[in-house]
Amino acid sequence: MSPEQVLQQFQATGVQTCFHGRHIEPQIYAGLDGTNWRLADYEARGGYKALRKILSEGLTPDQVIAEVKASGLRGRGGGGFPTGLKWSFMPRQFPGQKYLVCNSDEGEPGTCKDRDILQFNPHIVIEGMAIAAYAMGISVGYNYIHGEIFQSYDRFEEALEEARAAGYLGDKIMGSTYNFQLHAAHGFGAYICGEETALLESLEGKKGQPRFKPPFPASFGLYGKPTTINNTETFAAVPWIINNGGPAYLECGKPNNGGTKIYSVSGDVELPGNYEVPMGTPFSKLLELCGGVRKGRTLKAVIPGGSSSPVLPASIMMECTMDYDSIAKAGSMLGSGAVIVMDDSRSMVESLRRLSYFYMHESCGQCTPCREGTGWLYRVVDRIHNGQGRASDMDLLNSVADNIQGRTICALGDAAAMPVRAMIKHFRHEFEALIPGYVPKAPVQA
Amino acid sequence: APSAPLKPAILERFAREVAKYPEAGKQSAVMACLAIVQQDEGFISMQREREIAEYLGMAPIAVHEVTTFYNMYNQHPVGKFKLNVCTNLPCQLRDGVTALVHLEKKLGIKMGETTADGMFTLQQSECLGACADSPVMLVNDRTMCSFMSNEKLDQLIDGLRGSAKGEAA
Ligand SMILES: NC(=O)C1=CN([C@@H]2O[C@H](COP(=O)(O)OP(=O)(O)OC[C@H]3O[C@@H](n4cnc5c(N)ncnc54)[C@H](O)[C@@H]3O)[C@@H](O)[C@H]2O)C=CC1
Ligand SMILES: Cc1cc2nc3c(=O)[nH]c(=O)nc-3n(C[C@H](O)[C@H](O)[C@H](O)COP(=O)(O)O)c2cc1C
Ligand code: SF4
Ligand code: FES
């Protein structure tokens, strides 16, 4: 056997993570089986109908943007910013080139939804991007794909070839006057490049170090030109919205939180994987779809939106519904929709130690509070974990977090600090228990 | 010793990448060009950095900054098979670390090291974006292997060793 043949035996088929038949009203993952990713299959599922509708019925860019606004679609990359509103920021009558960028740099620990979209339904992203480009008068786009999922990059290149050959991309699309060139680019192992301005730097062939915002990409983006960046899942939602109408999308979900959302569930559940369900689905229902907590154990805590979002204890989580507003109200954020489940056997100190190491490793180093602070956080959590913590360490952790939060160029600093505070807030006793001779402060008398 | 100049087939792949960008944005192709060289030669030498710099009209130091910033570029030769095991939290909760420890034992090396026969380099890595498939391992930057129980890891290592012997014969 050749090395390629050997490795072939260990490839994921998506059966466990995507084709488990336990989605609820899926829009993006509907009808997929792992083999039907090609253009002909996508067309058979009604693919490129939305783009055709726009071009043949002569919908104006404004009408398309209005439809997306009406849908209540919010950015699936983590920020949850209203997509239609973002699109409307793009200058209309700009004399130079404008760009469209898809953020497929999915690297937030726990998140693996965009990979399954790109791998098993690449044309839905191409169609979504073509519609977005039309709505904003953009003629060139790039899809920046996480370097670690190189197979999805290769597949996306193949899908692009198919779309070009069929006239869905290129000059005079479907006989109209509309032109759109789309290309694939890849990263090569830097979490920070998922941050939109770092991504733009990387796409320009540089180190991926974030830029100051504002200016937002709509005024200063790729090569300094107006640029719109959206997440893979955001673009993938667009064809459904055009086909079925914005109000129908909003209806599937709850007010201010339209449509379905794909949750990547990992950690202590029986059946980890991606689950596409309507916004507002109770967390308890999602947990049930995943077969419940592993080995019949008890739920302890959940990180609801990727490693950057604050941890929530089981009691709070079980009352939440899965949407931006409910999770925010509970004190965390929906983020990228990566749900990391932890059972009652887990040590929160050990978990935080691993996350802190990650942020230290991935800090791009341009802001002192983040570069130095992430190192401090890791070293202090590490010594507590090793039983060498000091009585003052709890206060030290909070103060280091204070000194990072809100004082950095990008949100990675906050992402490193917030989990620390939440862990201490909800699971302080676990940290204290590991510190030799720790005497809890007497409660302050009022 | 300086190696031969870049092969025509490689330059052809470079050209395809450059064609994606506007003329003034040629430098954008640097990420892809470096990855292509690494796929072909296993690592990025200083000579190749200089050649890519010249090809794209960049300063050599600007190329070097890219090579050093991104985790996946190899600045030094690695084993025939580079194995990256994810140990980030979601994977740690599902035997990611177990997989790494198992490989350390099986290969007789610590993470970060290469086996004496030059076959395997073992590294820990951050989230590969395949968390639900844990334990996961990326082989030579391009092939993701999923659900890697200890048993499957043994099969994979033995299989790759066998394939190398086959090639040598
Ligand atoms: N998907 C993934 O792998 C990861 C996702 N994240 C998520 O990313 C989020 C943070 O991302 P950021 O881009 O820093 O969030 P942000 O909230 O600053 O921005 C979100 C989006 O809205 C746009 N925007 C916000 N305010 C605007 C304004 N006033 N005018 C024009 N545009 C505006 C931004 O350009 C951006 O595209 C976190 O909440 C985290 O959950 C973080 C790490 C990885
Ligand atoms: C450190 C960091 C990493 C990020 N990584 C990603 C990512 O991998 N994918 C993504 O879509 N957004 C990521 N984001 C958010 C982007 O900056 C941006 O908000 C998003 O791509 C906008 O698309 P959306 O409006 O469709 O969500 C990241 C943000 C930060 C601060
Ligand atoms: S906050 Fe951290 S990652 Fe973000 S720009 Fe500053 S140093 Fe870089
Ligand atoms: S945490 Fe291991 S692949 Fe994402």
Choose the closest CB to A109 out of B88, B147, B162. Answer: B88
Residue A429 has a CB neighbour count (10 Å cut-off) of 10
d(CA A217, CA A197): 7
- What is the torsion angle, in degrees rounded to the nearest 10, for the CA atoms of residue A56, residue A62, residue A66 and residue A67? 10
pLDDT band at B1 (very low <50, low <70, confident <90, very high): low
| Three-state DSSP class for residue B83 | strand
| Three-state DSSP class for residue B58 | coil
- Test mutation, B56, B88, B125, B145, chain A, max A CBs within 10 A: B88
Contact status of B123 with chain A (Cβ, < 8 Å): no
Q: How far away is chain A from the Cα of B3, in angstroms, using its nearest Cα?
A: 25
- Test mutation, A153, A266, A297, A366, chain B, max B CBs within 10 A: A266
Cβ contact, residue pair A148, B128, below 8 Å: yes
Cβ atoms of residues A124 and A180 within 8 Å: no
d(CA A101, CA B35): 21
Ligand located closest to A238 CA: 2
Residues of A in contact with B125 (CB under 8 A): 148, 189
Query: For A260-343, CATH number?
Result: 3.10.20.600
Buried b (16+ CB within 10 A) or exposed e, A38-56: ebebbeeeebbebbbebbe
Ligand located closest to A404 CA: 3
d(CA B123, CA A4): 20
Q: Which of A106, A191, A196, A202 to mutate to test the pocket of ligand 2 (most atoms within 8 A of CB)?
A: A196
Nearest CA in chain B to A181: B20
Cβ atoms of residues A159 and A165 within 8 Å: no
Report the candidate in B32, B129, B147 with the shortest Cα–Cα distance to residue A113.
B129
Cβ contact, residue pair A148, B72, below 8 Å: yes
Residues of B in contact with A264 (CB under 8 A): 131-132
Pair of tokens at residue A445: 């008398």
What ipTM does this complex have? 0.97
Listed by start position, the domains of chain A span 36-252, 260-343, 348-433
Q: What is the pLDDT of residues A306-340, one digit of tens each?
A: 999 999 999 999 999 999 999 999 999 999 999 99
d(CA A304, CA A222): 32
Look at chain B and count its residues: 169
What's phi and psi for A12, nearest 5 deg? -70, 145
Buried b (16+ CB within 10 A) or exposed e, A274-290: bbbbbbbbebeebbebb
* pLDDT value at residue A117: 98
* pLDDT value at residue A442: 64
Q: How far is the CA of A194 from the centre of ligand 1 (A)?
A: 10
Say yes or no to pLDDT of B38 above 60. Answer: yes
Report the candidate in B44, B67, B69, B49 with the shortest Cα–Cα distance to residue B59.
B49
Contact status of B108 with chain A (Cβ, < 8 Å): no
Q: Tell whether omega for the bond before A214 is within 30 degrees of 0, i.e. cis.
A: yes
* pLDDT value at residue A440: 74
* pLDDT value at residue B36: 98
Residue B3 has a CB neighbour count (10 Å cut-off) of 10
Contact status of B130 with chain A (Cβ, < 8 Å): yes
pTM: 0.97
d(CA B75, CA B77): 7
Q: How far is the CA of B87 from the centre of ligand 4 (A)?
A: 7
For chain B, the average pLDDT equals: 96
* pLDDT value at residue A231: 98
Matching CATH number, A348-433, of 1.10.10.10, 1.20.1440.230, 1.10.3720.10, 3.40.50.970: 1.20.1440.230
Closest-CA residue, ligand 2 atom 18, reads A196
Cβ atoms of residues B94 and B59 within 8 Å: no
For domain A36-252, give the CATH superfamily: NADH-ubiquinone oxidoreductase 51kDa subunit (3.40.50.11540)
Which B residues in the span 12-41 are in contact with A, Cβ-Cβ below 8 Å? 20-22, 24-25, 27-32, 34-35
* pLDDT value at residue A444: 61
Cβ contact, residue pair A110, B58, below 8 Å: no
Residues of A in contact with B141 (CB under 8 A): 147-148, 150, 188
d(CA A265, CA A294): 12
Say yes or no to pLDDT of B2 above 70. Answer: no
Q: Scanning the structure block, which residue is given the tokens 């779309």?
A: A163
Q: Which ranges of chain A have pLDDT less than 70?
A: 441-446
Report the candidate in B95, B81, B93, B78 with the shortest Cα–Cα distance to residue B146.
B95
Ligand located closest to A358 CA: 4
Q: Burial level of A223, CB count in 10 A (0-12/13-18/19+)?
A: middle
Report the candidate in B105, B102, B113, B108 with the shortest Cα–Cα distance to residue B149.
B102
d(CA A233, CA A247): 19
> Phi-psi bin for A75: left (phi > 0), alpha (psi -120 to 50), beta?
beta
Which residues, including other chains, have CB under 8 Å from residue A68's CB and lie 6 or more apart? Answer: A83, A84, A87, A135, A238, A241, A246
Report the candidate in B50, B34, B124, B77 with the shortest Cα–Cα distance to residue A202.
B34
Q: Is the CB of A337 under 6 A from ligand 1?
A: no
Which residues, including other chains, have CB under 8 Å from residue A104's CB and lie 6 or more apart? Answer: A114, A118, A125, A143, A144, A145, A146, A152, A231, A232
Residues of B in contact with A358 (CB under 8 A): 88-89, 126-127
Sign of the four-CA dihedral A165, A169, A171, A172: positive
* pLDDT value at residue A443: 63
Q: Is the CB of A147 under 6 A from ligand 2?
A: no
Q: Scanning the structure block, which residue is given the tokens 């004399």?
A: A95
Measured from the Cα of A336, ligand 1's closest atom is 1
Cβ contact, residue pair A223, B88, below 8 Å: no
* pLDDT value at residue B118: 97
Q: Beta strand pairing status for A312-313 and A299-303?
A: antiparallel
Q: Is the CB of A333 under 6 A from ligand 1?
A: yes
